[in-house]
Amino acid sequence: MFGPIRIDSMTEPAKTEVPALRGRRAQRGPKARVRPRVSVFGVLGELLITGGVLVLLFLGWQLWWNDAVMAASQSRAAESISQGWVDEVKPDPAPAAETGYGDPVVATAPADQSAFAVLYVPRFGDTYKRTIAEGTGTNVLNSPDLGIGHYPGTQMPGEVGNFAIASHRSANGGGMHLIHELQLGDAIYVQTADGYYTYRFRDLEYVPPSAVEAIAPVPHDPDGTAVDRLIALTTCNPLFSTAERIIAYGVYESWQPTSAGPPAELAALLPAA
């Protein structure tokens, strides 16, 4: 039981009496000369520790390192697609601003995985922007240049009904990481090739993952007739878990075409054109 310790101390004096030993090993005593036997438990223990370290490293990579890498690349991609739309249109600060631009233009949903909008939520950070593409598969949500998916079959930006989108809460760029911090009235901007749609955050809702009625044109009333223009941001809840879903609803406020430039509050956050 206490073997190694006693043997060490007992054989210690022998050290000086073995002249055949050479170099560094000789100074460590005769025990060091004997190759430590590779024990099954020793190797197993080291392998288990290695495995544990690998798991921790993976989590760190997934939740922080790769999350940050993806967030940066998704943000860059959103910026470039947004700039592309702006560049296509001549700025025309029409005086219509006083009266508004009427009913919003409603585009038709594009093919799966096609980017068609950019989301801005100042509450998520001044530089926060993400591309919205059609479909909610991993090909959209886990993509380094997309990140937010539009539920096929739900309404489009500005349309009467529910423009429902999904994104990761954590990892893969975490497009909706700060969804729980939204405050009543917070701006949610959606930019498309046509223009800018402004929504105002209304409320949060916590639902089971099966609650498909949350993204119905009238949330939780699948048979209802829609009159409001809503946006629904959906992601998983609680943080780092997929047990529930958290839904953030916003209500449409206004629309302006690309030629009119972004809404003032958003323009202040965008790089000067």
Interaction between residue 224 and other proteins (CB under 8 A): no
Q: For other proteins, which is the closer residue by CB, 94 or 211?
A: 211
Would you call 149 helix, strand, or coil by DSSP?
A: strand
C-beta of residue 182 within 8 angstroms of C-beta of residue 201: yes
| Least distance (Å) between residue 114 CB and other proteins | 18
Nearer to other proteins, 166 or 190 (CB): 166
Map residue 167 onto helix, strand or coil.
coil
In whole angstroms, give the CA distance from residue 78 to residue 203: 26
Give residue for tokens 């202040």.
268
CB of 5 to other proteins, least distance (A): 19
C-alpha span between 214 and 222 (Å, rounded): 9
Least separation, in Å, of the C-beta of 13 and other proteins?
Answer: 26
Site string for other proteins, 235-254 (x = CB under 8 A): xx-----x--x-x-------
Cβ contact 184:201 at 8 Å: yes
Q: Where are the alpha helices (DSSP H) in the chain?
A: 3-11, 23-27, 30-33, 40-60, 66-88, 138-141, 264-267
Whether 169 and 236 have beta carbons less than 8 Å apart is answered as yes
Question: In whole angstroms, how close is the CB of 140 to other proteins at the nearest point?
Answer: 11
CB nearer other proteins, residue 202 or residue 245: 245
Residue from 48, 54, 68, 97 touching other proteins (CB under 8 A): that is: 54
Q: What residues numbered 114-173 form the site for other proteins, per CB under 8 A?
A: 136-138, 141-142, 149, 151, 166-169, 171-172
Please report how close the Cβ of residue 247 comes to other proteins at its closest, in angstroms.
Answer: 7
Nearest to other proteins of 71, 166 (CB atom): 166
Task: State the nearest-atom distance from the C-beta of 223 to other proteins, in Å.
Answer: 16
**232: nearest Cα among 164, 186, 184, 175:** 164
Question: Which residues, including other chains, have CB under 8 Å from residue 213's CB and lie 6 or more apart?
Answer: 219, 220, 221, 222
Shorter beta-carbon distance to other proteins: residue 46 or 103: 46
Task: Give the chain's radius of gyration (CA, Å).
Answer: 30
Contact set for other proteins, span 61-120 (CB under 8 A): 61-62, 65-66
Please state, in angstroms and rounded to a whole number, the distance separating the CA atoms of residues 273 and 264: 13
Nearest approach, Cβ of residue 121 and other proteins (Å) = 16
Nearest-angstrom CA–CA distance, 33 and 134: 68
47 binds other proteins (CB under 8 A): yes
Chain positions contacting other proteins, by CB under 8 A:
36, 38, 42-43, 46-47, 54, 57-58, 61-62, 65-66, 136-138, 141-142, 149, 151, 166-169, 171-172, 207, 209-212, 214-215, 234-236, 242, 245, 247
